Structure 1
Amino acid sequence: MTTTHNHVRTALELAAAGVPVLPLRQGKVPFGNCRACAKNACGGRPNMKNAGPCQCPGICHAWAAATIDTRIITSPAWSSAWCQAVSVGYHPGGAGVTVVDLDSAAAVAWARETLPITRTVPTTRGEHWVYRGAIRSSNAVRPGVDIKSFMSYARWRGSGNGSMAVLPPAVRALVVREETTPARASVVSSLSRCATWDRSVATGCRHTERYVRTGLERGLAMVRSHTESGAGSQAFGVARFLASQHMQCPGPCGLDAIVEEIVAAAVSVGVPVPYARRAVANGLEAPSERVA
């Protein structure tokens, strides 16, 4: 009970400081979805990239469940999770920060040579470097380095040491770098199935189905035409353009399905799945970053 109390106390202190929190279970990962939310059947949390109708009182949808609402943090629906929690997690993007997760001594050495000094937090295998400003998250941007900000969570390991610096261009560059298409023989991943866009997943889109499908098909054709190189960059451009078309829609616009189709097109011409997903995710985020 003492451990549970400590986790809840830490969560409440972070929430008071404007840091959205959630409990993490064994393995230091979020709790799984309840039956009603399994496989995102409920549509997802309202604070996810594509807003959904989920009002589940539980801790479903991983990072998206993170909150600063003390009534939720101390609610009966969360109490059983706190009893099982091994640590407190938080949503960096929701707090307006970016965590550069350095998972090895070599990664820490690289950061010290490359990145501006900022607040650092010791971890089991390396350090978290925390910068002021939020961007898209991306894993494995280089050996031993993950970027945690929007649409991700990080384990709270304390306040750390030093002053927090502004997010530097060097970190931003890690998540927007171009991905080139490798030789066809080197592809070791593929998508087993692909969601498709239709009106049923875009109830808040202001465009007609024909308009969206026409633009999407043209974009997919452009990606597929890059059979030797550049398909990753083309996928980024297509995602950025299509996302910009939906910025004025009340939503949801079913962009998740559009993402899957663009990713599948890139994979079909040799882009590994992780690279394709990263390129498309960065492209989807680009229009909102321009506006901000």
Structure 2
Amino acid sequence: MTQPTPIRRDGHRPRLLALLTTALNLAAHAVPVLPLRAGKLPFGNCAACRYTACGGRPNMKTAGPCQCLQPCHGWAAATTDPAVLQSPAWTSAWQQAQAVAYHPGGAGLTVVDLDNADAITWARESLPATRTVPTTRGEHWIYRGAMGSVNGVREGVDLKSTMAYARWLGPGTGTMTHLPDAVRALAVKKPSTARPAPLVITAPTPVGGGECRHRTPSYLDRGIAMAEQRITEARSAVHTTVYRTFLAVLSAHGRCGCLTDTHVARLFTAAQAKGESPRHCTDAWTNARTALGM
């Protein structure tokens, strides 16, 4: 097994030491952890498996923890192995990291992420009390028990458990209670009668002069239509499907300058119709661009 990289305790790397100490303490309590870079984002996928699901399986429902030597697959990179956490590759990531994240589902937990005051008020009126952790915009309510992760179950409310990560913000206060049916019921999507308005973002800037190598607009139109269909037909792992679809579109069209705000808006509209929030659409798009080095 790879030998851990010695951590100097001379004050030159206080942030590295603080983050790694937190990570090791959590891992010792069977909480899988991973580093987060700026923007509360995980580190990008490594070159060896950039376009495959964690564990090499195309179906993310059966994907296992990342087998790479780097913390490259978001939630699936989370580990409780202290030798991995202190390995050279991970130490390099910790040196760039801004925070520690953990995989709630891997620890048998579910986090109800409340993003604003209205969401907190709703939770206090609708959900059983449990351990709470203050966040920059709201609160995390942590329950004992794992379930599927779902974004945007209502305004300002996300569920983070399996196949998701949450930022570690401290142990919180209050007694952790068992995952209630009221939280599980939030994951049951109700049919939508109207498509939400898309969030328009700036398309990638052209690379290499901006001339489209595909020569014909019809190629791009077919690609966007297929991407919309892929998102719309997703029956599970919607967040993962959205990210991988964005990744595929950017891989094919992101560097030639043919993508416009209209094309991106179509993708965001399809994702939001499946329950993704505008913030998570933006995060997925940003993560895909980062993975491709854009």
TM tier, shorter chain? Answer: 0.5 to 0.7
**Residue 110 of structure 2 contacts residue 146 of structure 2 at CA under 8 Å; is this kept in 1?**
yes
Per-residue CA deviation, residues 13-56 of structure 1 (Å, 9 max, x unaligned), is: 10010100000001111000111122227764899523379631
Q: Does 1:273 align with 2:281?
A: no
Distance of 2:228 and 2:64 partners within structure 1: 17
**Residue 12 of structure 1 contacts residue 70 of structure 1 at CA under 8 Å; is this kept in 2?**
yes
Counterpart secondary structure, 1:166: coil
Per-residue CA deviation, residues 224-269 of structure 1 (Å, 9 max, x unaligned), is: xxxxxxx99xx86xx7xxxxxxxxxxxxxxxx7xx99xxxxxxxxx
Correspondence for 1:98 among 86, 93, 110:
110
Q: Quickly say closer, same or farther: Cα 1:93–1:113, change in 2 above 3 A.
A: same
Alignment match, 1:26: 38
Q: Look up the equivalent residue of 1:94 and give its one-letter code.
A: G
Give the CA deviation at 1:272: 4.3
Distance of 2:228 and 2:54 partners within structure 1: 17
Correspondence for 2:131 among 119, 129, 134:
119
Q: Look up the equivalent residue of 2:136 and give its one-letter code.
A: T
In structure 2, runs of 5+ residues without a counterpart are 1-12, 200-222, 246-268, 277-294
Alignment match, 1:87: 99
Alignment match, 1:267: none
Correspondence for 1:161 among 168, 173, 185:
173
Q: Quickly say closer, same or farther: Cα 1:34–1:100, change in 2 above 3 A.
A: same
**Residue 64 of structure 2 contacts residue 76 of structure 2 at CA under 8 Å; is this kept in 1?**
no
With the length of structure 1 as denominator, give the TM-score of the two structures. 0.64
Q: Quickly say closer, same or farther: Cα 1:195–1:103, change in 2 above 3 A.
A: closer
With the length of structure 2 as denominator, give the TM-score of the two structures. 0.63
Correspondence for 1:193 among 226, 230, 240:
226
Correspondence for 1:4 among 8, 16, 26:
16
Counterpart secondary structure, 1:125: coil
Q: Look up the equivalent residue of 2:117 and give its one-letter code.
A: A
Give the CA deviation at 1:2: 0.7
Alignment match, 1:39: 51
Alignment match, 1:141: 153
Q: In terms of mean alpha carbon deviation, does 91-100 or 135-144 score higher?
A: 135-144
Alignment match, 1:132: 144
Q: Look up the equivalent residue of 1:273 and give its one-letter code.
A: A
In structure 1, runs of 5+ residues without a counterpart are 198-230, 240-255, 261-270, 279-292
Q: Look up the equivalent residue of 1:38 and give its one-letter code.
A: R
Per-residue CA deviation, residues 199-242 of structure 1 (Å, 9 max, x unaligned), is: xxxxxxxxxxxxxxxxxxxxxxxxxxxxxxxx99xx86xx7xxx
**Residue 47 of structure 1 contacts residue 64 of structure 1 at CA under 8 Å; is this kept in 2?**
no
Give the CA deviation at 1:277: 6.8
Correspondence for 2:184 among 172, 177, 185:
172
Counterpart secondary structure, 2:94: helix
Distance of 1:53 and 1:28 partners within structure 2: 20
Distance of 2:54 and 2:90 partners within structure 1: 19
Counterpart secondary structure, 1:165: coil
Identity of aligned residues (%): 57
Alignment match, 2:28: 16
